Structure 1
Amino acid sequence: MAKRGAYAKGVVKREEILEAALEIVGRRGYRNASVREIADAVGLSPAGLLHYFGTKEELFVEILRARDAHDTERFDDLEFTESFLEVVRHNADVPGLVELYTRLAAEAADPEHPARGFFLDRTSAVHAVAREALLADQREGRIRADLDIEWIIRAGHALADGLQNAWILDPTIDMAADIDRFFVLLRA
C-alpha cells in the first residue's frame, strides 16, 4: 500500500534531513556540524529536526545508516573486494563521515549508547556479505585455501577501522592502497 498524507510527508522530510546532514557532516565533521546548521538547511528549527529522530545521537546513527545505504547503492554492482575498496576510496572524500563513524564506533562500546545496535547489526550484515563472497572466492581458487575465512573477515574489518583512525590523524595515508595490499596477500 502506498504511503499517504502526513506519514508520507514525514518520510520525505526525514530523507531530506538525512541528505542535508550527509553533506554537512561529510564536509564539516562531527564536532563542527550542529543540529542548528542541519535544521537551517532544511527549513526547520533544531527542535523540529529532532522531532524526526528523537536525539542528536539518534540523528547521527541515522546519518551513518544513510551513508551505508548510499554506498551500497553506489557500489553494489561491483564484486566484493572492489566494492570494499571503492567505499574506502570514497571515505577519503568525506572526512567528516569517517570522523563520525570512528567516534560513534568507540562510543558504541557502552551497552546503553544509541549507536550500539547499529554497529552490531552493521557488523553482522557486512560480515555475512564478506563471508559469502570470500568463500566463493576460496572455492574458485582466487583466495588461498589455507586461510580461515573468519580470520580474513576479522582482520580486514580491524584493518579498515584502524586505517580510518590513523587517517583522521594523518590524511596522507592511502587507506585503499593498504587494504588492497591486504587483499593481495590473500590471493592463491
Structure 2
Amino acid sequence: MLAIAVETFATRGYHHSSLAEIAERAGLTQAGLLHHFRSKTALLSGVLELRDNSEMRQLGPERPRGLAFLDHLVETVRRNTEREGIVRLYAVLSAESVTEGHPAQDFFRARYRGLRALVAEALREACDLGETRPDTDVEAVANAIIAVMDGLQVQWLLAPEAVDMAATTRRTVDALLAGLRTA
C-alpha cells in the first residue's frame, strides 16, 4: 500500500491523488485502505515516515561526526540517483507543502529545521575537531548545502542525463568549505 501511495503521490501530488485510485492499484477497496490508514492525511504521514525511516536506517545508530557527516550527505545524494520515486515524492510534496493548509506543511517545517540543525551541528563538530575555523557561520553554510541538495534533485528529475547530483554536491560542499578550512 505504501509503495503504491509513494508512487501515486510522487507522480500526481497529494491534492491530485485519490484514495480510490491508490486502493484500486493496491488491490483493495477504499474501505480496506481506510482500515489501515484512517484518512488520506494519515496515508501521507505513513508515506513520509517510511521515507524518513529508510534514511535513518541507512545512517545507522551513530551518525558520522564533523566533515564526515558532509561526506555522508554526498553519499546519500549518490544513493538517491537509484531511488527516483523517493526523490520525486520528496520534491513534489515538499514543494506542495508551502501552500496554505497542506497536511505535510508541519512535517516539512520540522524536517528542514532538523536537517539544518544536523548539518550545523556537524559543522560545529568540524570546528571542535580542528577541521574548520571556529569563526564558521554554520547556519549559513548548512542552509546553502541543503539548498543545493534540494535544487539539484529538481534539476535531476527534469534532466537526469544532464545533472550529476553527487558530483555537483561534492563540488559545492568542497567550495563552501574551502574558505573555512584550518591552515
TM range (shorter): 0.7 to 0.9
- 1:58 to partner: Cα distance: 4.3
Match of 2:130 among 133, 141, 145: 141
Structure 2 gap segments, 5+ residues each: none
Q: Is the 8 A contact 1:75 1:87 kept in 2?
A: no
2:12 aligns with: 31
- Check if 1:74 corresponds to 2:58: yes
Structure 1 gap segments, 5+ residues each: 1-16
Aligned residue type for 2:11: Y
Aligned residue type for 1:59: L
Aligned length: 169
Which gives a bigger RCO, structure 1 or 2 (Cα 8 Å, sep 6+)? 2
Counting aligned pairs with the same residue, the percent is: 37
Question: How high is the TM-score relative to the length of structure 2?
Answer: 0.77
* Change over 3 Å in CA distance of 1:116–1:143 after alignment to 2: same
- Check if 1:91 corresponds to 2:60: no
2:164 aligns with: 174
1:49 aligns with: 33
Q: Deviations over 1:48-105 (max 9, x none)?
A: 2134334435423431221111111112355222321222122211212212211111
- Check if 1:162 corresponds to 2:151: yes
Aligned residue type for 1:165: V
- Check if 1:103 corresponds to 2:84: no
Structure-1 separation of matches of 2:97 and 2:123: 27
Aligned residue type for 2:57: E
1:5 aligns with: none
- 1:153 to partner: Cα distance: 0.9
